[in-house]
Amino acid sequence: MQRAFPRRSLECTLQHKLGYKPDADAFDSDVCLLILWRASLAMDQLASDVVTTKIEPIDLTMMQHCIELSKQVAAQGELPFASLVCRGEVILSEGVNRVVRDRDVTRHAELLAISAAQKAVGKTKLTNCTLYSNIEPCVMCAFPIREARINRVVFSLRSPLMGGYSRWNILGDDAISDIMPEAFGQPTEVIMGLLADEAEHVWRSWNPFVWGIIKGRGCFEAGPLEQRRPASDKRSLLREMLSALHD
């Protein structure tokens, strides 16, 4: 059975949240709901466009450590990927690529770091944590980042072809957390391009020929430093509006 939303609840929501007062003689609940839906779409667009540029000193320290790890693993014959999971200034775990050594394409640095961090804290949820990676996490790694409720992701080189943010935007997508909040955390704050030149230098030193092919194909690139943060205040307002319909 389709639920009829109370007229008073709809009127209050529209008037107090959007500044719109429906005509008393032409009240239509479907029209009111359509107005709320359009407002929600506008808020989602605003939420995805928030850009700031504040970088914390701890981010520089952790990324330097991450890049050094990628250099070390490259010297061991592995692909130079590295990742950290940190809570504040505490490193919960480190992960480096083990695809070549283990002959297993799922052994990405980010996945190994997430798994180790969960074991370290004894929980699956890694709230108030930051994941650092010298390369943008791919789609395979982006979903576990959201499932683990990691709040921030910081990476050096972007991946326009395979990135879980630049290409597919799993890290910034709010649909999965809105529809399945019990499984996925809210969109993550993303900092990209941090120490990109230093990260690129490791790859170029590892194998100049291979790096030239990777860069020429647009797989990885050193883009400008950017920070994108979900507009949680706008999402909270939307949820408050929609929840008011059920009062």
Active site positions, annotated: 110
**Radius of gyration in angstroms for the set of CA atoms belonging to the chain, rounded to a whole number:** 22
| Chain-centroid distance, C-alpha 40 | 21
As a whole number of angstroms, the distance between CA 58 and CA 130 comes to 11
Other Cβ atoms within 10 Å of 238 Cβ, number: 21
182 Cβ contact partners less than 8 Å away, ≥ 6 residues apart: none
Other Cβ atoms within 10 Å of 53 Cβ, number: 9
The answer to whether 83 and 130 have CB atoms below 8 angstroms apart is no
124 Cβ contact partners less than 8 Å away, ≥ 6 residues apart: 118, 147, 148
| SS3 at position 185 | coil
103 Cβ contact partners less than 8 Å away, ≥ 6 residues apart: none
Instruction: Count the helices and strands in the chain (H runs, E runs).
Output: 10, 7
| SS3 at position 131 | strand
Any idea which residue has 């980010």 for tokens?
A: 110
